[in-house]
Amino acid sequence: MAYQLSPRKIKKIKKYCDAVYDNNRKFNVRDNILDSNRTGKEINLQGLGAEIWFKEKYDIPYTLFEDEENFIPRTYKKDIDCIFKNGLKLELKQTMYPKGCFFIAAIDHWHKPRKLISDMYVLIVGSFPFYKKDLFISKLDLVDKYLDRNTNRLCPTIHPKIGKAGYHMEQDEMYNSFEEALETDGRRTTTSEDTSTMS
């Protein structure tokens, strides 16, 4: 059975996510909506709720609730979603669809090419507050899939269902545990130094 949040925690997360969304509007943060079936507020709740679910599941300390009134918008370049085992940086993504995929847009909020700066990426499947599972993929797996060996550059592709360019993995391409993803990552001949300058 999937890890479940307590009713008290669910209420606290909902209140916090609403405050974060409202405060972001004060900073003129625009919604980044890939799924037209959901509002920006719903996407914020699902994604941030998934992050808290993941940290609760793995007993990872976090301070998200401490200063919701003075919340400053986060950016993937400066703020890491999670520091996990072995001190590795994780970026967390969420899908509400049972067969939904992991997807990172090729262009960031500043209309610049998106950089792969985390060590491992996580897809959390389910809807707030009932997330069902988490899947893992390493940065090197993404590099292996999207590296054009002729130019030594990463070349994101258009996802057939989403219709946007990005780095994407179907669930059956991902690993069920962090340890499994880390083990396959360690068997690769490419090193993190080799990929550190790639965008």
SS3 168: strand
Please, how many CA atoms are within 13 Å of residue 83, restricted to the half-sphere of its CB?
6
Q: Determine the Cα–Cα distance for residues 135 and 139; give it in Å rounded to an integer.
A: 14
pLDDT in tens, 89-106: 999 999 999 999 999 999
Average pLDDT over residues 140-164: 93
For the chain, where are the alpha helices, taking DSSP H only? Answer: 7-26, 40-57, 139-146, 178-186, 192-195
Can you tell me the distance from the alpha carbon of 53 to that of 76, in angstroms, rounded to the nearest whole number? 19
* Stretch 150-165: mean pLDDT: 93
Q: Write the pLDDT tens digit of every residue in 5-60.
A: 999 999 999 988 888 888 777 766 666 655 667 777 888 899 889 999 999 999 99
Q: What is the spatial distance between Cα 196 and Cα 157, in angstroms, rounded to a whole number?
A: 20
Q: If residue 157 lies in a helix (H) or strand (E), which one and from where to where?
A: strand 157-158
What integer pLDDT is reported at residue 130 of this predicted model?
95
Whether the full predicted model's pTM is greater than 0.95, yes or no, is no
Give the number of other Cβ atoms within 10 Å of residue 75's Cβ.
10
Paired residues of 126 in beta bridges: 131
pLDDT value at 192 more than 50? no
Q: What is the pLDDT of residue 184?
A: 82
